[in-house]
Amino acid sequence: MARLIAAHALLTDGWAERVAIDIAPDGNIGEVTVGAAADEGEYLPGHVIPGMVDLHGHAFQRAMAGLAQDRPAGAADFWSWRQRMHALAARITPEDLWAIAAALYVDLLKGGYTTVVEFHYLHRPPEGGSYEDPAVMCLALHEAASETGIALTLAPTWYARAGMAEEEPTPAQRRFLLDLDGYGDILGRVERLFRDDRDRRIAAAAHSLRAVAPEQLPAFLAEIDRRDPQAPLHIHLAEQPREVEQCLAVHGARPLELLADRVPLGPRWCLVHATHLSEGERKLLASSGAVAGLCPTTEADLGDGLFPFAEYWREEGAWGIGSDANLVTAAAEELRLLEYGQRLRRIRRLIATRPEQPHCGAALYRAALAGGARAAGRPVGRIAPGFRADLLHLDGRHPLLAGRSGDAVLDSFVFASGAGPMIRDVMVGGLWRVREGLHADELRTRRELARVVDRLLE
C-alpha cells in the first residue's frame, strides 16, 4: 500500500488539508484521512484533484491537427472538412494509429486527462476486405494506452451505412462499414483483450443516425446488452443543421426525438455534439440523465454552432468534455472555451455558477468530472475509497496559483494560462505517468508521430 500526503486535496465534500490518500496495489484508492503528518508518505506540496475524463476522441485525427485551416475550392464547411478527414482515414495503418495515439495520449495526460474514451470506427484495411485480426486497430489503441499509461474506455463504433439518403459509401467509408456480426466479433475480441484490466472499459457506440438507421438500433442494443447491460452507449447526435434537416425530411422527427423514440434514453447514454436541439429536446436530454458530450474546440473549429449550455446548466443536465478531433489536448482549455462561448452569446459573465457554487472554474470542473465518469463507465472523478487513483497534482508554486486556496485554485487552473504548466504530476491507477510536467516517453512518441505524419502527407 502506497501513501500520498496531499497538502491540499479536493475531496467529495470539498477541500481538505494534509490529506493521506492510501493506494492499494490494484490502483484503487483505499483510506482517505484528513489531518495527516507530512512525513507519513510521499508529500505533495500543491493541490491534488481528480484527473479529468476526455469523454470523446478520435485519436487518428491528431495527425491532421491544424491542417484544414486553408480554404478549399468549394464551401469551407463541416462537409469539406469531413472529406479531408476521410482522405486521411483512408491511409492509416495499425502501426500509424499506434504511433499517432501514443503521442496524443502523452499530450492528453500532460493536459490533465487521465481517461480517454475512444469513439473508434476505423476498422477495416485501406485496401478493403478484413484484417486477419478484425480488432487490430483496437489493439493499436490499447497498446498506445498501455505504453503511455492513460486509462482507456474503448467504444468500438458501429457504422452500418453511408448516410440517411442510402447513398453509396465513399472509399474511406468502406473502412468503417460493418454488419452487426462483424461488429460483435470486434467486441468479443476486445473483451478478451481487456479482461481483468482495471484501466480498461468497453463502451459501445453507434456512429450517428446517419450511419446507423433508427430501425437498426434495437438489434444494436440487444447485442450490447447481451454482453454487458451496463456498458456506456455513445452516439454523435446533431452536430450540423444539415443533418437535422435531413433527419426531419427522412424520418419526420429531429435527431433527439427520433433517438428517444427508439431507445430508452437514460444515464448510460452519452450524446456527442447534441448541438442543435429544440427547447423540448434540450429539456428531455436534461431530465433523462444522459450525458451531453461537449467538444468545444472541435465544435468551434468546424463551425458547428453553440450548444445551449446556459439553459442546460440551469436545468442541471449532465455533461462532460471531449477533445474529439484533438486540436487541443488540455482539459482546462475546453472548459474555458465552453464558458466563454456562452458569455459571448449571453453578454454576461459567470454562466456555470449557482448560489451554492459561486466559483465558475470549480463548478465547471466538478460537473465535467461527474459527467465524464458516467460516460466512461469507470469509477473515477473522486478522491474517495474505491475510486481509481487517477490524480493531478497542481504546482502550488506556480505564480498564477500562488496565494489561492480552495475553489479559487480551480478558477485559476481553468481560466488562467501561461507562465509554465500548472499540472506538475499526473497519476493513473496509482502510477505516476507525468512528473514535474514531463512524461518519460514524450520525446520518443513525438519523433514517431512526426515520422508517421511526414509519410501520411507525402
Binding mask 237-266 for Zn ion (x = CB under 5 A): ------------------------------
Helix extents (H) in 302-359: 309-314, 331-346
| Residues composing the chain | 458
- Point out the catalytic residue in the list 107, 324, 390, 395: 324
Q: Would you call 13 a catalytic residue per the annotation? A: no
Radius of gyration of the chain (CA): 21
Span 323-362, contacts to Zn ion by CB under 5 A: 324
The answer to whether the beta carbons of residues 29 and 198 sit under 8 Å apart is no
**Pick 274 or 360: Cβ nearer Zn ion:** 274
CA distances from 409 to 123, 214, 332, 395, 428 (A): 42, 45, 12, 10, 22
Residue 351: name the closest of 299, 296, 418, 402 by CA: 296
Annotate 15-76 with DSSP letters as a single string: EEEEEEEEE-TTSBEEEEEES--GGGSEEEEEEEEEPEEEEEE-GGGGGGTTTS-S--SS--
| Cell matching residue 67 | 491542417
**Strand ranges inside 333-422, DSSP E:** 391-394
One-letter amino acid at 49 equals I
Site for Zn ion in 145-174 (CB under 5 A): none
- Active-site choice (123, 273, 276, 439): 273
CB of 210 to Zn ion, least distance (A): 12
The closest residue (CB) to Zn ion is: 324
Rounded CA separation 48/175 (Å): 42
The sign one gets for the Cα dihedral 161, 165, 170, 173 is negative
Cβ-based nearer residue to Zn ion, 293 or 377: 293
Size of the site for Zn ion (CB under 5 A): 1
Of 242 and 349, nearer to Zn ion (C-beta) is 242
Which of 36, 150 has the CB closer to Zn ion?
Answer: 150
* Pick 324 or 390: Cβ nearer Zn ion: 324
- In order, the DSSP letters of 375-386 are HHTSS-SS-STT
Least distance between Zn ion and beta carbon 112 (Å): 20
SS3 state at 293:
strand
Going by C-alpha positions, the residue among 227, 74, 201, 85 that lies closest to residue 142 is 201
Select 257 or 324, whichever has its Cβ closest to Zn ion: 324
For residue 273, indicate whether it is catalytic.
yes
Task: For the CB of residue 400, give the shortest distance to Zn ion in the complex, in Å.
Answer: 32
Q: Which of residues 296-325 bind Zn ion (CB under 5 A)?
A: 324
Q: Active-site positions?
A: 273, 324
Binding site for Zn ion (CB under 5 A): 324
